[in-house]
Amino acid sequence: MPYRALVTGAGRDGGIGQAIVKRLEADGMEVLTLDKLPGCTWQVDLATDELPDFGPVDVYVANAAITTLFGAAHTFSLEKWRLDLDINLTGTFRVLQKCLTGMRERRYGRIVVISSTSGTRGMPAQVSYATSKAGLIGMTKTVAAENVGAGVTANCVLPGMTASSGILGMPESIKDAWLDSLPSGFVDPADIANAVAFFASPESGMVTGQLLTVDGGDGLNTRSVTSSVSRRRQA
């Protein structure tokens, strides 16, 4: 029998979720999907709806999140703050909790949570998003620690600026500004899916409580005098 995976946030064309689904299917898994958008196995709002009966889940990939609430911390509304945390953090936990009981009973499970580099670095103008992604890291490490020796692992993938449909739909001036600051350009969603596939595989059973950043080196100190001079000459 193939391993059975559940991927949330898989309804958006060109998104990370769909890339993950394709990769896990290519690895021979049976993949179920969940999103607020239509076209998935289940259409569910993680913040408000009752969760369906997923049946046995061997691999849970927590990808569902919103990224569209902006504002400085000192003026940010509690309404927007709660919405980000209700979906990104609490919604992820609700599904995890529903999958985890069966994983523990069967003594096998792979939990892969899509956090973000903003969860470790912060993100100006997105205080609730960064907070929710930081919370996912704490949640994942706690679940990993609680299930050591139970056959269940929990790990995080931290994407950098990724060429998903949301980013690609931004005005050209904004995309150009981002690209000017990224040493390797935008991350491809398939690169995120590759990282997920490792954590989701049966062979990764000795890896738990870990963070894997996929950002093309953006978090490294890659700036230098010579690179600055080169950019000025090109301009």
Positions marked catalytic: 129
Write the burial class of residue 215 (CB in 10 Å: 0-12 exposed, 13-18 middle, 19+ buried). buried
- DSSP 8-state secondary structure symbol assigned to residue 162: B
What SS3 class is residue 131?
Answer: helix
Say if residues 65 and 200 touch (Cβ distance below 8 Å): no
Cα separation, 64 vs 87, whole angstroms: 8
What stretch of H or E contains 113? strand 109-114
Cα separation, 173 vs 204, whole angstroms: 41
